[in-house]
Structure 1
Amino acid sequence: MMMFLFCVAALIAGYFIYGTFVEKVFGIKENRTTPAFSKRDGVDYVPMSNKKVYLVQLLNIAGVGPIFGPIMGALYGPAAMLWIVFGCIFAGAVHDYFSGMLSIRNGGASVPSITGRYLGNGAKHFMNVFAVVLLLLVGVVFVSAPASMITNLVNHQTSATLSMGTMVAIIFAYYILATIVPIDKIIGRFYPLFGALLIFMSVGLVCAIGFSSHHALLANYSFSDMFTNMNPNHLPLWPALFITIACGAVSGFHATQSPLMARCLENEKNGRFVFFGAMIGEGVIALIWCAIALSFFGTMGSLGAAVAHGGPGNVVYSSSFGLLGTFGGIIAFLGVVILPITSGDTAFRSSRLILAEYFNMEQKTLKNRLFMSVPLFIIGGILTQVDFAVIWRYFGFANQMTAVMMLWTASAYLLRFNKLHWISTIPAMFMTAVCTTFILNNSTLGFGLSMSLSTAIGIVVTLFVTGYVIKISKGKGDPAFDQAEEDKLNTVPKTV
């Protein structure tokens, strides 16, 4: 219990202490007009209250990642909790804060445009392709996962029979609707309620296992276990753990979602609460599910068997009903199902906006929104026929590579304005080494090189990229000119 409380306390302290420091380095301007007002169109640029934007942001970024990832990461033992805490505070929350605030400073721009401005057109084109591919993979994962979970729930808890194909079709129909209607009609109206349900579900599960006489919270583990690899299959912790746990620690998917809320934020002073704070909230959710996975099954061997039998979805199902009974289990299970659905629709929405930005096509008219959306859903429907495990593997790597690009973009911005760039450069260096080592070592997705050689090359690549970004960024910009450009991007047109 103390280990869990210590980790949660560390995350909360990280928000107030390090979050305030990051905000100070960035330098907010409370009197500057935000894109919610300067580009207000009633569809994507819509001012919304601070609390509402926070809850929508939390749901947007919290798909199955902060649940499935930590459950899979729990197979390494409490070391997973250590990565969630440090990764969330020093990498994930910094990543999310800059992806949101740089979007605000650039008139609500999507991540490829932001990357292009600070790292060049080559990076912009790379991010356009990578971001859309990632979002399609996310959309597919967040169709297949909830469809499978709902089908499992209905078929086990009722006498009815529901097919996977039917559930996929229903979720896709909802995604199409949520992608094209104005953001305040469905997402802005109902997602805050879902966010409250998510928080209630998370607290309920922690209380249930905390007072359970059969499943004491982390009773079989000590603080020293946080520095030990306990994987029952003897899989190496480096670098796989840092790819496996993405959304609960640092996730590139969030860089595609933060601009959605950057277009709705009423004041820059709200950025720390919305972007940094939502990531800390997701970190708490990740800690909860990691702790439940470690506690409910008792031993690493039993957890490994549960994952092997039905994947992380089986862990969610077993622990929800085992801790809360039938009624509570259904509520908790549905709370988990809501997460991927409320991220899947915004994944497709982000794809639409990124493509629209690339092709310079306004999205105020329904015809243009359909023109951008329909091809995405056709491709997404085709990809749902691919094995889920395959899609998840590619999603994990693509996700972290996008995070790498966003962190380097933040560093380039800070270097250009002569600010303390190490707050993003250090996590960027770490994640560059992680992704490079992983793709070189992994025999399924990558090149199957030895771990020692892969790590050595990863370090060399990281040092090269660091030197390159510093060289092209430091002292290359004109802070006064860039400041004027930012002001121009967020100036309310005279006709408004």
Structure 2
Amino acid sequence: MVSFLGGLVLLIAGYFLYGSFVERVFHPDSRQTPAYAMEDNVDFVPMSTSRAFLVQLLNIAGLGPIFGALSGALWGPVVYIWIVLGTIFAGGVHDYLSGMLSERNNGASISEIVGKYLGPVMAVVMRIFSVILLVMVGVVFMVGPAGLIALLTPEALNVQFWTIVILIYYFLATLLPIDKIIGKLYPIFGICLIVMALGIAGATLYYSGTRPMLEIWDHVENMYPGKELPIWPLMCITVACGAISGFHATQSPMMARCIKSEKEGRKVFYGAMVAEGVIALIWASAGIAFYYDRAGAGTGLQALLAAKGGNSTTVYDMSIQLLGGVGGVLAMLGVIACPITSGDTAFRSARLTIADWFKIDQKDTKKRLMLSVPLLLAGYGISFLDYNTIWRYFSWSNQTLAMMALWAAATYVCRFVGKNYGWIAAVPATYMTSVSVAYILQAQEGFRLPAALSNGVGICAAVVCLALYVVKVYVKSEVKSTRKDEALVIK
């Protein structure tokens, strides 16, 4: 319990202390934001700070901080370290800088931003990578909630039925102006999300006498059953959205097009990431307390592994047993709202990414329709593939995109803010480079190389990227602390 409460305190302190530091480094000013400069009543729509925060939170808080955190709980309390430190020093920085860079580039998609600061080749790579990732995210967040709803409804209404229902909603949310569906429904979903988080946290604390949370200082070890999977880099990929997620960089431009002032950026972008870290910490700690064996059988977290980590079944069982019937349904609604409110904006972001790529004006409904229909049909086709396989590829591509976004952010900060401040993004970028490369080399869906070899190559890749950053960006940057930005329009 102490570890859990301490983690919450650190996350909140991280927002006020390190978040404020990152904000001072970036130095938001009073320039006109794209919400006003490019207002079109479709994608560029001024929103209040509270609404923008809520939309951003629900955009990014999909299944990742719930399913991913429960799966990460298989390694034991050590997962708390990654959630807390990852959120403060990596995820929060990533989300804030990607959102603010988009805001300073007229709401541009992350692929255009990466291309602008890392070169045209990376622009093409990121465009393709982003669209594929976003479609996979949409599929994951379509099939996942469909499975959850199917558990609460009559057997005749199966997963496939609810998948189609959710797909129809996604079509409307992708096509219509952002304030027509997303802006109106998200406050309702937000209530469900808040009830879910508070309910699970409160119940876990209430039952701590019979289901005590494990303290990290008593279990600084790999608790994965049979130690079959190592902590690094597997846990850092598994717990994606609860610590750092490249998917967030694809979502932040939507609110970069809606915030009224640059000074709202920390509350909207960094604040939403900290809130998601809190959600992940709640589910990870609840999962450990709920499934850990204390009967002397020595099975540890084997029951959680047998349930296949984070999935519809484990969330349903925990919600019902911890909160009872009514509370369980409310908690389940929160869990359902999370992925749906990320899946709809995933497809919307894919539309915007393609539109930015080919310079397609999105004021015209027919042009939005032209992009939306093929994306949703592709998503529906992918939904028939194995869910677990899609999730694994999503997790890796998610963290790889985060790596790219961080390197672009480090380049921007070094060149246009102050060369001695680039480390706030370069350090987490270096770490995520080693994680992404090492994982894909040893993973079953990757090259299946020995762990020692893949880890070594991952570290070497990170060192090479850091060296390139130092030589090509840091050394050549003459700006020390001008606080001036370059031309704001991507041409």
User: Which bin holds the TM-score, normalised by the shorter protein?
Assistant: over 0.9
Q: Which aligned pairs between 1:210-289 and structure 2 lie closer than 5 A? A: 210-212=205-207, 215-218=210-213, 221-225=214-218, 227-234=220-227, 235-289=229-283
2:170 matched to 1:182? no
Quickly say closer, same or farther: Cα 1:42–1:477, change in 2 above 3 A: farther
Contact 2:52/2:259 (<8 A) preserved: yes
SS at 2:207's partner residue? Answer: coil
SS at 1:143's partner residue? Answer: helix
CA distance in 2, matches of 1:478, 1:355: 35
What is residue 317 of structure 1 aligned with on the other side?
316
Quickly say closer, same or farther: Cα 1:307–1:232, change in 2 above 3 A: closer
* 1:228 partner letter: E
Q: Which aligned pairs between 1:471-482 and structure 2 lie closer than 5 A? A: 471-474=471-474, 476=476
CA distance in 2, matches of 1:476, 1:192: 47
CA distance in 2, matches of 1:431, 1:42: 37
2:125 matched to 1:132? no
Cα deviation, residue 89, structure 1: 0.4
Quickly say closer, same or farther: Cα 1:361–1:302, change in 2 above 3 A: same
Cα deviation, residue 298, structure 1: 3.2
Contact 2:27/2:483 (<8 A) preserved: no
How big is each residue's C-alpha offset from its partner over 1:234-281, in whole Å with a ceiling of 9 and x where there is no partner?
121111000000000000000000001110000011100110000000
What is residue 454 of structure 2 aligned with on the other side?
454
Aligned alpha-carbon RMSD (Å): 1.9
* 1:427 partner letter: P
What is residue 440 of structure 2 aligned with on the other side?
439
What is residue 9 of structure 1 aligned with on the other side?
9
What is residue 306 of structure 2 aligned with on the other side?
308
What is residue 46 of structure 1 aligned with on the other side?
45
* 1:75 partner letter: L
What is residue 166 of structure 1 aligned with on the other side?
161
Gaps of 5+ in 2: none
What is residue 469 of structure 1 aligned with on the other side?
469
CA distance in 1, matches of 2:285, 2:415: 41
Normalising by the residue count of structure 2, what TM-score does the alignment of the two structures yield? Answer: 0.94
Aligned residue pairs total 481
Cα deviation, residue 213, structure 1: 6.5
Contact 2:102/2:256 (<8 A) preserved: yes
Gaps of 5+ in 1: 491-496
2:140 matched to 1:141? yes
Contact 1:34/1:266 (<8 A) preserved: yes
* 1:483 partner letter: D
Cα deviation, residue 476, structure 1: 4.9
CA distance in 1, matches of 2:41, 2:162: 31
What is residue 423 of structure 1 aligned with on the other side?
424
CA distance in 2, matches of 1:441, 1:165: 34
Normalising by the residue count of structure 1, what TM-score does the alignment of the two structures yield? Answer: 0.94
* 1:251 partner letter: S
SS at 1:211's partner residue? Answer: helix
Cα deviation, residue 477, structure 1: 6.3
Cα deviation, residue 230, structure 1: 0.7
* 2:64 partner letter: G
CA distance in 2, matches of 1:271, 1:81: 26
Quickly say closer, same or farther: Cα 1:430–1:200, change in 2 above 3 A: same
Cα deviation, residue 445, structure 1: 1.9
Cα deviation, residue 199, structure 1: 1.4
CA distance in 2, matches of 1:335, 1:477: 47
Contact 1:416/1:475 (<8 A) preserved: no
CA distance in 2, matches of 1:415, 1:379: 39
Cα deviation, residue 446, structure 1: 1.8
CA distance in 2, matches of 1:102, 1:410: 8
* 2:215 partner letter: S
Contact 2:74/2:304 (<8 A) preserved: no
2:485 pairs with 472, 483, 486, which one? 483
What is residue 200 of structure 2 aligned with on the other side?
205
CA distance in 2, matches of 1:304, 1:264: 46
SS at 1:139's partner residue? Answer: helix
Cα deviation, residue 414, structure 1: 1.3
SS at 2:485's partner residue? Answer: helix
